[in-house]
Structures are given as C-alpha cells and as structure tokens.
Structure 1
Amino acid sequence: MRAEARHLRKLPETESISLLASTSFGRLVFSRHALPAIRPVSHVVDAGAVIVRTHPR
C-alpha cells in the first residue's frame, strides 16, 4: 500500500490555540548551534497565550 502525499496548510490562529488547549503536552522545536532541537514540554493556554512550564536552572 502506498502512503498518501503530505502537505502543509496554514491554520487560523483560533484553530491553532484551540488545538493547543486540547492537550497539555507537546514539543518545542528550536535551533541550537545551527541544528534543530526538539524538546518535550508541558503547557497551558490562558486567555489565548501559550505558557510553557519550565524548571529553574
């Protein structure tokens, strides 16, 4: 069986926030030393703002 081709689509901000609010766990992707880095994070959505829970260093 052949896999279907994937494509990107831009989500409206309201849909993006709604999807983020539906779960408390996700991934944060960023660049570190010019390489991609992916970290699991816990988050909450409060009044449309995404708040990532972190630990003090």
Structure 2
Amino acid sequence: MPQRYREEVEALAKALLSSHEKDGLIYSGIATLLMVALTIYWVDGLIRLGLIGG
C-alpha cells in the first residue's frame, strides 16, 4: 500500500512540476507539501510495522 501511494503522489507531483511555466511557485509549493505529507505517511507506516523505533 505505501509503495502504491508513493507512486501516485510522485506522478501527481511530476505532473504539477511539468506545468511550472505558469504559477511555478504555487505548483512547486503544492508538490513540496505533497512530498512532506508522503514522508510523514511513510515514516508512520514504518513505525506501525515496527521496522523503526518510535
């Protein structure tokens, strides 16, 4: 599940970044927020699985 979620978020972020000709800063900000949310989700998943201490 996390791997599929990660691929979907990366695809969305790439689509947003490819549209950076207009309002590039806004799209970059959205992509950055998505990656931060993804990182939090991924680390939380690892903690729940017991792969890292927390």
TM-score range with shorter-chain normalisation?
Answer: under 0.3
Which structure features the higher share of strand residues? 1
TM-score of the two chains, using structure 1 as the length reference: 0.21
- Flag the structure with larger Rg: 1
